Amino acid sequence: MIYKETGQYKSSYKSDHAIFPLLQDKIAFSTLMFIAFLIIPFVINSYWEKAILVPFLIFSLAAIGLNILTGYCGQVSLGTGGFMAVGAFSTYKIMTYFPDMNIMIIILISGLITAAVGIIFGLPSLRIKGFYLAVATLASQFFLVWLFNKVPWFYNYSDTGQITVSERTMFGVPVTGAEAPSYATYLFCLVLVVVLSFAAKNLIRSKMGRSWMAIRDMDIAAEIIGVPPLKTKLSAFAISSFYIGVAGALYFAVFLGAIEVTESFDIMTISFPVLFMIIIGGLGSMLGSFLGAAFVVTLPIGLKFLMVDMVGLSAVTAKHFEITIWGLLMIVFLIVEPHGLARLWSIAKEKLRRWPFPY
């Protein structure tokens, strides 16, 4: 009886199309936004910012991006790390050439550049699919990382091959660089994530999103009923890459500050974890992207606390345990709940709806 929808009638198209049609959802969402915008910025400290909140927000964006491509359009990609690197390096290059440009605009342009790169690497998807495509996206991963590592122009000929962010401000407060206060970096990411997730949610409910899903469910049938595969697949690649590129730009500019491409955008540190996020969170679900990102960001911290601080294992052994647990979790989720955490949440909602009655 907690989550009851009786008595909530939809009397206009507008209310029928609302993202959160139920009052309970609206209340829950508003509370969440209230906490996120008006409470957390005042209580946030450096640990929460660096270890949990900012990586969570950034990886949510990356997960949304990959979910658009894999969850909604059905094209498996292992090249997330490469595309995030494109976002990061575009940000860096734009920063060097246009010292006065606003950081928000820089990051959005980096997203657009990544989208263009995504279209190029999405071209093979027109002819191949399934794991053939997964292999093709591996090509983008290795090629892009090699490119940024080996062509000195990308890192401005610095000796170490590292790229370092310079300080940029929004409304007079620095959001990038070492001096940026915790609340500023957090709010900067939060605003981008909220705006872009709303955009993604609406895109998915639009004609474009429906054609992605048609292609995912059966591409030949979709083509026959008039969904153009070229446009649909490439738009999925472009928009997915845009999100991943923005995530990569934030990852570099706001979160890490200085990166070395082979380490920070490796297939093991980015591509697979983001794939975990959408599998564990839920393929083809916005909520799932967030839940998955939260899970993947917090689980290592929890495991480390449990194994290193409580049981007293060495950090190396704990790391091996962590890898094992990731693998097992992935298998367990695929077997037991292929729709991920998002599905668990909708089961919980169903339970809450009829509680305390069994039926």
Partner 1 sequence: MSVELLNFIETVLNGLMSGVMYSLVALGFVLIFKASGVFNFAQGVFALFAALTLVGYQTGQVPFAHLINELFGTNYHNWYASMPNFLAILLTMVTMIALAWIIERLVLKHLVNQDPIILFMATIGLAFALEGVGDLMWGSDVKVLDVGIPSGGSIWLEEATIGLAAEGSDYYGMYVDVLNIWATVIAVILVVSLALFSQYTKTGRALRAVADDHQAALSVGISLRSIWILVWAISGFIAMVAGIMWGTESGVQFSLSLIALKALPVLILGGFTSIPGAIIGGLMIGVGEKLAEIYIGGYFETGALENWFAYVMALVFLLFRPQGLFGDKIIERV
Is residue 229 a contact point for partner 1 (CB under 8 A)? no
Is residue 170 a contact point for partner 1 (CB under 8 A)? no
The amino acid that residue 110 corresponds to is S
Is residue 120 a contact point for partner 1 (CB under 8 A)? no
Give the single-character DSSP code of 268.
Answer: I
Among the candidate windows 39-47, 143-151, 201-209, 291-299, which touches partner 1 by CB under 8 A? 143-151
CB atoms under 10 Å from CB of 15, counted, come to 11
Overall residue count recorded for the chain in this entry: 359
Q: What share of the chain is helix, strand, coil (3-state, %, to 5)?
A: 75, 0, 25
Q: Which of 108, 112, 313, 344 binds partner 1 (CB under 8 A)?
A: 313
Is residue 15 a contact point for partner 1 (CB under 8 A)? no
Tokens of 137: 């996206």
Give the single-character DSSP code of 128.
Answer: -
Q: Which of 38, 43, 310, 335 binds partner 1 (CB under 8 A)?
A: 335
Is residue 221 a contact point for partner 1 (CB under 8 A)? yes
For residue 35, report the phi and psi dihedrals to the nearest 5 degrees. -65, -45
Q: Which of 29, 34, 47, 146 binds partner 1 (CB under 8 A)?
A: 146
Is residue 135 a contact point for partner 1 (CB under 8 A)? yes
Which residue number, 35 or 128, has a Cβ lying nearer to partner 1?
128
> Where in 254-273 is the site for partner 1 (CB under 8 A)?
267, 272
340 SS3 class: helix
Is residue 328 a contact point for partner 1 (CB under 8 A)? yes
Distance CA 297, CA 196 (A): 20
Whether the Cβ atoms of residue 88 and residue 154 lie closer than 8 Å to each other: no
# binding residues, partner 1 (CB under 8 A): 48
> Where in 51-80 is the site for partner 1 (CB under 8 A)?
74, 76
HEC letters along 181-212: CHHHHHHHHHHHHHHHHHHHHHHHHCHHHHHH
Binding site for partner 1 (CB under 8 A): 74, 76, 124, 127-128, 130-132, 134-136, 138-139, 142-143, 145-146, 150-151, 218, 220-221, 224, 267, 272, 275, 279, 311-314, 316-317, 320-331, 334-335, 338
